[in-house]
Amino acid sequence: MPPPLAAAAAYDVAYRPMVEADLPFLCALYAWTRAEEVAQTGWPIEAQHQFLTSQFEAQHSHYQAHYPAAEWLVIEVAGEEAGRLYIEEWERELRVIDIALLPAFRGKGIGKAILEDVIALARSKAKAVSIHVEMFNTAMHLYDRLGFEKIDEHGVYYLMEWGPS
């Protein structure tokens, strides 16, 4: 159930199922998303790397255990690995478990287009779209512009939802 590529096709986006060989790329992507935060610890670079690797492994295991029916997708742009989209369909909603793009692909409209396609898929099924977003995530304004609303708080995360109405 990958989202259709209506909006994202303009950016030469493709999705492919994650395979074991993608784990080093996905770990590096995860590390990039947390690098600035972890750098503030002052730990040596090798300790930061070890911590981020262990955190990726823990997150990956958690996702696999708690979202058994999810689609684990690698996002490619013009054939190049660009990010990840993890999504699971539930009775009343599509849950975006995770979406992340490498720095070279951010700020170009690609993430917005992917989310627009996820919303289009949800709309076609009369379902909502939900996602947990860190409170200080720079993409928060994007979710707001797309019509997501904060419906709950979980620690440092907002549960945000786009409704089909």
DSSP, res 68? T
Among 64, 62, 56, 55, smallest CA distance to 24 is for 56
User: pLDDT tens digits for 36-74?
Assistant: 889 999 999 999 999 999 999 999 999 999 999 999 999
Is the pLDDT at 161 greater than 70, yes or no? yes
Strand 93-101 versus strand 71-77 pairing type: unpaired
What CATH code would you report for 8-162? 3.40.630.30
pTM comes to: 0.93
d(CA 87, CA 54): 23
Q: What is the mean pLDDT of the chain?
A: 94
User: What's residue 137's pLDDT?
Assistant: 87
2-31: per-residue pLDDT in tens? 676 789 999 999 999 999 999 999 999 999
